[in-house]
Structure 1
């Protein structure tokens, strides 16, 4: 019984919200716990705010943190789901996402826009006098729309939309636990560097001190795998706030997550060791600033800062310390040593390799073998000069990787190197065979287990089909000729109801996938506003409770990204 009482205190609103300095706390749960923190890694972007735990429940009140006005409203099946943007009178923007619903006149305005567009998805900006709010007003309720389990995603931005770390701006949470180190990585910068006699990364495990002392000769950088925890009451792990590398008590590099810009969010792939992560080795922060990486987390440290050179370190043993801290000031340290061991009078020469054919800061068009495809690189595509190569493989040798209803419409191209991220998205264009079902085709990437749809931008004049990619790998044009599947249709055909039922179905497509705007549900020929959940693959329409008695015919139409269409219909009666 005592445990139940503690659980109720922990999980339910208390009526006294957690303190937020000059701001009202955004969520009616006390005390607050996080499931994710600011600037954590997500594929191709930073996590832009805090995720507040709602204990797998929905419907908690979300409050205006300050006086201001509702400046933006949006809803979508993916991403932020339902989200509200509050512009405050002190010059910030607060974002509340994955909401169950909006409150009051905000909900009414959202429904008006959905009715106008005749669809669920919308995104509107509002003038300052449209929906003013006061500090402490309930503006929404927490939910699980978009992606993920129930929680509140909360952001605190500048007026230019740059996300700020909310933990540093009045939204700190109770936290007395220091970050936890898992391992470090030591990675050669070029082909001449050796670490324990080999030219490849070395991973050393340890939480406070690493006893193994590797021998290194050449240029290298340090990576670190580290997580943070808010409380022993929960098991969620977060990214750190600051990491600093010291050599013999002298600071050699730091990274600190105060804010970032959406213009550079893709560059998170250069802050995390993309190569190690791609090969399943884990997520390591690289403790140097990549060339042309412009994320504002390095202070005034120049490009390349943090790269270590044994010629400058000098022969012998060197001591290093990594200090990781969270936004509450809890710190942890990890010590390790290296031995600089280079042959006397050595003058290492890099092995012969392909010379770079793409230079950073320049635009390039790189053609594949036989000119089957080409890469369009802009001045901003690369961090460093790169030697890009490709191998063309007959599609017949990969035929067993395709599910039923799909066929290759090009040879398979393996582009290298596949472990270097691009600084900006790069367009990959294939020439297509006009005798194949081009309009049902798309560019797909092999992810090691299956072919993943990238895009299908068709240029009839050029005779190409294209997609934007952020790293090289194995690609092909694949035709998807199989329509989506519609199952678990409800209500049952011909059934009679006293109160109007919801129209529901499960939609699946194992190839190009489904976009929410391509789902249409009709009732007696009139289009309804349907809500699609891509995680459960379900779609539903809630009908008005005052539906007059009679027969109602309904129809579900869905088209996948390749243009294949499926349709099912039924009827029910109300009396």
Structure 2
């Protein structure tokens, strides 16, 4: 009776929910809601912060305010959510609308004036109550494909006004706008030996377990025969009845002999926790196979608030005379649930599959500062840079720093320093520490003190000093020099830089700054003649593009245009 009561109390504590208003907000679109991405979905270096709403594979759909409020923030970026509006509501929450094509009416006019005032495409504004008031159902924008979007859709999310935590839109009644009768699915169950002494099913390496569907709709996995510390991981996804694509699951809970062992539920979390997705998943497997296996254990605890576990942190210990049952349940927001049961038994069997060989002699302790030096290069890892201890491959060869590879995730910045003894003083003004490999060069913001160059990065790999004296390239598909282009609504150029990357660009029409919008995906900048900067008749156009090392290109041309109908 005491154990039963403990389980009930523990389960209630795990996922107690705040009460959110269910009928306060409407949909931001006037088409049926379909998801191309849901809340909490596992993404590169982050959990998804909201819904990705399908827009029929096109741009320009009406986007509406989901409730009364005021536009409290506007951010126009070439990355991330692109063109984004934030609307603060009186009930304590803010709605967010991302990847927009543009805002409309007074909001768009305000944005356009700010572009010209700040003479920048990328802008961020915080507004006061009363400046841009909106009503529930008011058209505020058109959907688009700006920023890091991989196709036309609307990114939509909710945030708490005080904590700025992001909140699952389903909690606000958005579950009523969709139908979901489908259970989540497992595409893989893995068992992990968690120390050198442990063998699992005669393996020293993680193993994929076979699953057998039972008549009641549950699954049973292969028996796990082990000695020592073990953990489990799952590859899982969910479908709904209307979206026809794989989404993330809402809730994961494991039980050991009926007692809750490890679980998480995607209700709300902070942006500061986003990068812990790399600790939750088997990151090495993801980098090698693109499969995101979610670990149901923590070898070293990390501060992801959605995880609820006991003292064991999900780690099981197979000991003599043990016969146990491990159960995993995955659920969607609608309560559809899939269960797999895994028998666990203790036995000492000889290992057939050996551990992966350790090729390095450099041990990095995650809880301690670590510094490594060779020749003219060094790296410093502050305590807490990594989630777990590991053996680091570290070497310097042919002026290149070999710093393991991107199969071990870093949670925070570490510092790389290179003492240059090769380049001239003039050349040092054009040097940066680049990420090199795979035929590509990645720019890292680099500081210099004398001959020593320093950068802070979050990804392991290969690094070297890169000399950049090459200016950016500006091109146009069809030259307009000396031509009449009265029938054109816009003018467009491609700008690119193959080394340090573009830092800034500016366009000028007849000596006046002109807004050119930048699309990072296509590397194109576009000016819309409706801005009213273009003159009647002859126009002188100048475009100045600068890279991160100060190399610049000036493109100039002359064209003619009539504004008369």
The two structures have a TM-score, normalised by structure 2, of 0.85
Whether 1:533 aligns to 2:519 is: yes
Given candidates 429, 432, 439, the residue that maps to 2:417 is 429
Q: Deviation digits for residues 523-562 of structure 1, max 9, x if unmatched?
A: 2232211111111121111124864432222233322334
Judging changes above 3 Å, is the alpha-carbon distance between structure 1 residues 556 and 319 closer, same or farther for their aligned structure 2 residues?
same
In structure 2, how many angstroms separate the alpha carbons of the residues matched to 1:157 and 1:556? 39
For structure 1, which runs of at least 5 residues remain unmatched after alignment? 1-19, 345-349, 395-410
Name 1:13's counterpart in structure 2: none
Is the Cα contact below 8 Å between 1:393 and 1:413 reproduced in 2?
yes
Name 2:69's counterpart in structure 1: 68
Q: Secondary structure at the match of 1:218?
A: strand
Q: Secondary structure at the match of 1:445?
A: strand
Is the Cα contact below 8 Å between 1:45 and 1:266 reproduced in 2?
yes
Name 1:307's counterpart in structure 2: 315
Structure 1 residue 163, shift from structure 2 partner: 0.5
Name 1:294's counterpart in structure 2: 303
Name 1:456's counterpart in structure 2: 445
Judging changes above 3 Å, is the alpha-carbon distance between structure 1 residues 353 and 465 closer, same or farther for their aligned structure 2 residues?
closer
Is the Cα contact below 8 Å between 2:318 and 2:345 reproduced in 1?
no
Given candidates 273, 295, 298, the residue that maps to 2:282 is 273
Q: Secondary structure at the match of 1:424?
A: coil
Q: Deviation digits for residues 215-234 of structure 1, max 9, x if unmatched?
A: 32221211100011122x54
Is the Cα contact below 8 Å between 1:182 and 1:206 reproduced in 2?
no
Is the Cα contact below 8 Å between 2:186 and 2:235 reproduced in 1?
yes
Q: Secondary structure at the match of 1:181?
A: strand
Judging changes above 3 Å, is the alpha-carbon distance between structure 1 residues 464 and 545 closer, same or farther for their aligned structure 2 residues?
closer
Name 2:180's counterpart in structure 1: 175
Structure 1 residue 305, shift from structure 2 partner: 0.9
Structure 1 residue 153, shift from structure 2 partner: 0.6
Name 1:198's counterpart in structure 2: 203
The two structures have a TM-score, normalised by structure 1, of 0.84
In structure 1, how many angstroms separate the alpha carbons of the residues matched to 2:295 and 2:501? 35
Judging changes above 3 Å, is the alpha-carbon distance between structure 1 residues 445 and 498 closer, same or farther for their aligned structure 2 residues?
closer
In structure 2, how many angstroms separate the alpha carbons of the residues matched to 1:57 and 1:292? 44
In structure 1, how many angstroms separate the alpha carbons of the residues matched to 2:128 and 2:492? 37
Q: How does 1:236-255 map to 2 (within 5 A)?
A: 236-255=245-264
Judging changes above 3 Å, is the alpha-carbon distance between structure 1 residues 277 and 545 closer, same or farther for their aligned structure 2 residues?
closer
Whether 1:106 aligns to 2:117 is: no
Q: How does 1:75-86 map to 2 (within 5 A)?
A: 75-86=76-87
Judging changes above 3 Å, is the alpha-carbon distance between structure 1 residues 106 and 434 closer, same or farther for their aligned structure 2 residues?
farther
Structure 1 residue 417, shift from structure 2 partner: 7.3
Structure 1 residue 446, shift from structure 2 partner: 4.5
Given candidates 209, 219, 227, the residue that maps to 2:229 is 219
Whether 1:549 aligns to 2:536 is: yes
Deviates further, 271-280 or 492-501: 492-501
Structure 1 residue 265, shift from structure 2 partner: 1.4
Q: Deviation digits for residues 209-259 of structure 1, max 9, x if unmatched?
A: 36544532221211100011122x543211111111223433321121111
Q: How does 1:555-566 map to 2 (within 5 A)?
A: 555-566=542-553
Deviates further, 52-61 or 195-204: 195-204
Is the Cα contact below 8 Å between 1:440 and 1:481 reproduced in 2?
yes
Judging changes above 3 Å, is the alpha-carbon distance between structure 1 residues 246 and 152 closer, same or farther for their aligned structure 2 residues?
same
Q: Deviation digits for residues 334-375 of structure 1, max 9, x if unmatched?
A: 23334432269xxxxx9999888654454x251232251222
In structure 1, how many angstroms separate the alpha carbons of the residues matched to 2:456 and 2:273? 20
Structure 1 residue 445, shift from structure 2 partner: 3.0
In structure 2, how many angstroms separate the alpha carbons of the residues matched to 1:509 and 1:188? 47
Is the Cα contact below 8 Å between 2:209 and 2:221 reproduced in 1?
no
Name 2:7's counterpart in structure 1: none
Judging changes above 3 Å, is the alpha-carbon distance between structure 1 residues 303 and 147 closer, same or farther for their aligned structure 2 residues?
farther
Name 1:391's counterpart in structure 2: 395
Judging changes above 3 Å, is the alpha-carbon distance between structure 1 residues 195 and 439 closer, same or farther for their aligned structure 2 residues?
farther
For structure 2, which runs of at least 5 residues remain unmatched after alignment? 1-20, 214-218, 351-355
Is the Cα contact below 8 Å between 2:41 and 2:47 reproduced in 1?
yes
Whether 1:328 aligns to 2:331 is: no
Name 2:272's counterpart in structure 1: 263
Is the Cα contact below 8 Å between 2:298 and 2:313 reproduced in 1?
yes
Judging changes above 3 Å, is the alpha-carbon distance between structure 1 residues 194 and 443 closer, same or farther for their aligned structure 2 residues?
farther
In structure 2, how many angstroms separate the alpha carbons of the residues matched to 1:431 and 1:200? 40
In structure 2, how many angstroms separate the alpha carbons of the residues matched to 1:452 and 1:215? 47
In structure 1, how many angstroms separate the alpha carbons of the residues matched to 2:358 and 2:312? 24
Q: Secondary structure at the match of 1:200?
A: coil
Cα root mean square deviation, aligned: 2.9
Name 2:139's counterpart in structure 1: 138
Q: Secondary structure at the match of 1:84?
A: strand
Q: Deviation digits for residues 429-478 of structure 1, max 9, x if unmatched?
A: 3333461533433333356x333414132122572231321x43333232
Name 2:554's counterpart in structure 1: 567
